[in-house]
Structure 1
């Protein structure tokens, strides 16, 4: 199958790299991300930079020092810039210091096939009887205390070399048009209080409309190696419990694939709507508007999810939340909360899980916020 993917909310898939403060030159409402590969090839730049490094590493003096270097070498900053974005200030009006970079190859952003496969895999588990088997296993209180990380998955889905999903191949996407990549602020909102959170800044793939007929989308190829799967099944080289005929059928038939994705999506959307409904506004107009905007967003994609013929929605990438990446659904039992606490989810209250949600500010207005990671996927052939 060939799939077209387009963002309906900002998407972020991190490379693990950061754009540091010394890599940016801030001029009022514009921030220039400098191209140091080009700068290093400029005569005398390295000498000037090293001579001023102590000043450059001071946030309050960095921009003045960089401006002096550009002026001394008679360089136009636009000629040595990777991209420009509108300067973002945090709530204390401090200048942005660090930005998480989108995954890239030769400075061209793309969606890794592994990210897409992971998102599809979670939805396929949600939509099939595998999910019921996992849920029953987690619901068996006698066994939960003996569970170790990955034990359930290896038992039900099989180790990687035994899993049906090893026969699912997903290519990396085509490259994202750089015009739709920009830096945005991510805010963590506590659902039950107004506790301040440290904002984060990311390179995001934005759901902007094109103005020149160019599509803001990428394409990937998804293939299920059904012949190899059948052969492995005959030779018992695959976990028998995950040899589910419905899953193989879903991965080889377009209509069943789309229907399964929509079924799983309805559940994720329902959970997100339930979570947003618990956002307390404390008579704060911004929080009231944010809640309204998020509710409208999920109402819209829920309606579209039913109406679209050859398309479905999918949530992928970073900062997309616990429920989009797991088989869990509310309410969590006390036993499950204690189990999760052993793997990094500390101080969980089963009546208040999750306690936060993340939003992206597309502009300073609370009318222009969106959740992270939602894309529309269209099956082309």
Structure 2
């Protein structure tokens, strides 16, 4: 099944690395990136041995390492590996890098599959809120609600109740193994820009990051392995949601319903929170919600949360507000008046990570 992916807001998928001041400088509102190995290779090719030694010495002794100053001082004429426009005022010495291969940035299939998994789980628990409420109460009663390992264990149990047949713990029977999503083809560097995000709901500062720009479009494959499905069906190892994985049509319709049901609730909650605080963000969220009226799948991708985050806990909040508040206070490092989820936004008030999938 071929799908078109439309980027609705900046999307950052990191590779775990940051680009340092020794690999970039800013010129006329653009980030110019020079990979460090190319800089070293250029130094190695300097014909003058003394100039070559001075270049290495500069790296060792300079107190304020600046790539721009280095290239200028040693008269090195080197084209950047790539350059990106900057959205915002970049004052940081590091920039979070987008995941890439040699040919360019790409979207890992595992990242898209993980977001789909998260969406299905949240939508499923909307009809079974008592399961989440029970687990939240157990965590609180244990006195270890803040323990990340305990949270992970509970999240694992909740996920198994969605994707595994009842009573099963063997990962080979996870119904999402029926779903196959290859990586996207490499995208042009022009698909990226540097965002300087701020964090709503926290005073913590964020690093600038390379991100896909809103308006970018590309295609990916989402496939159902019918042999794997028949294997689970034959062994009677399908969970309750298994019927939706019988073929691509059934799965797509299921995904559309999950997106409408869950993100409608999530966006309503966020619009309500931001309406009187940040109207530009509220308007952006209203536009996102309009996509739920189409035949596409609204999806959030990139850095986000486990299923016990405040996204899923909106279900608890709706059923038992006091329990939601108690759990939120018990698991936050710093108490806040508002039990809202923090949000990364760019200079225009766009929250990060939103895509629309359209079936081709």
Q: Which residue of 2 aligns with 1:118?
A: 114
Q: Deviations over 1:262-312 (max 9, x none)?
A: 333322322321332363xxxxxxxxxxx1221111212222321x24x23
Structure 1 residue 182 displacement after superposition? 1.4
Partner SS state of residue 222, structure 2: strand
Q: Which residue of 2 aligns with 1:276?
A: 274
TM-score by length of 2: 0.79
Structure 1 residue 52 displacement after superposition? 0.6
Partner SS state of residue 130, structure 2: helix
1:224-239 aligned at under 5 Å gives the runs: 224-236=224-236, 238=237
Q: Which residue of 2 aligns with 1:288?
A: none
1:213-362 aligned at under 5 Å gives the runs: 216-236=216-236, 238=237, 242-248=239-245, 252-253=249-250, 254-277=252-275, 279=277, 291-306=278-293, 308-309=294-295, 311-318=296-303, 327-329=312-314, 331=317, 333-335=321-323, 345-347=332-334, 352-354=338-340, 356-361=342-347
Q: 1:374 to 1:355 in 2, by over 3 A?
A: closer
In structure 1, what is the Cα distance between the partners aligned to 2:312 and 2:72? 52
Q: Which residue of 2 aligns with 1:172?
A: 183
Q: 1:294 to 1:88 in 2, by over 3 A?
A: closer
In structure 2, what is the Cα distance between the partners aligned to 1:37 and 1:16? 18
Correspondent of 1:184 among 176, 195, 198 = 195
Q: Structure 1 runs of 4+ off > 6 angstroms? A: 320-325
Structure 1 residue 249 displacement after superposition? 5.5
Q: 1:2 to 1:295 in 2, by over 3 A?
A: same
Correspondent of 2:160 among 134, 154, 159 = 154
Q: Which residue of 1 aligns with 2:147?
A: none
Residue-pair matches, total? 333
Correspondent of 1:138 among 124, 132, 143 = 132
Cα RMSD (Å) of the superposition?
3.2
In structure 1, what is the Cα distance between the partners aligned to 2:37 and 2:292? 45
Q: Which residue of 2 aligns with 1:211?
A: none
Partner SS state of residue 41, structure 1: helix
Contact 1:273–1:295 (CA under 8 A) maintained in structure 2 = yes
Partner SS state of residue 329, structure 1: helix
Q: 1:231 to 1:87 in 2, by over 3 A?
A: closer
Contact 2:96–2:208 (CA under 8 A) maintained in structure 1 = yes
In structure 1, what is the Cα distance between the partners aligned to 2:4 and 2:286? 23
Partner SS state of residue 39, structure 2: helix
Which segment is superposed worse, 245-254 or 198-207?
Answer: 245-254
In structure 1, what is the Cα distance between the partners aligned to 2:113 and 2:52? 43
Contact 1:109–1:175 (CA under 8 A) maintained in structure 2 = yes
Structure 1 or 2: larger helix share?
A: 2
Instruction: Name structure 1 gaps, 5 residues minimum.
Output: 209-215, 280-290, 362-367
Structure 1 residue 143 displacement after superposition? 3.9
Please tell me whether residue 379 in structure 1 is matched to residue 355 in structure 2.
Answer: no
TM-score by length of 1: 0.75
Contact 2:86–2:195 (CA under 8 A) maintained in structure 1 = no
Structure 1 residue 333 displacement after superposition? 4.7
In structure 2, what is the Cα distance between the partners aligned to 1:34 and 1:205? 20
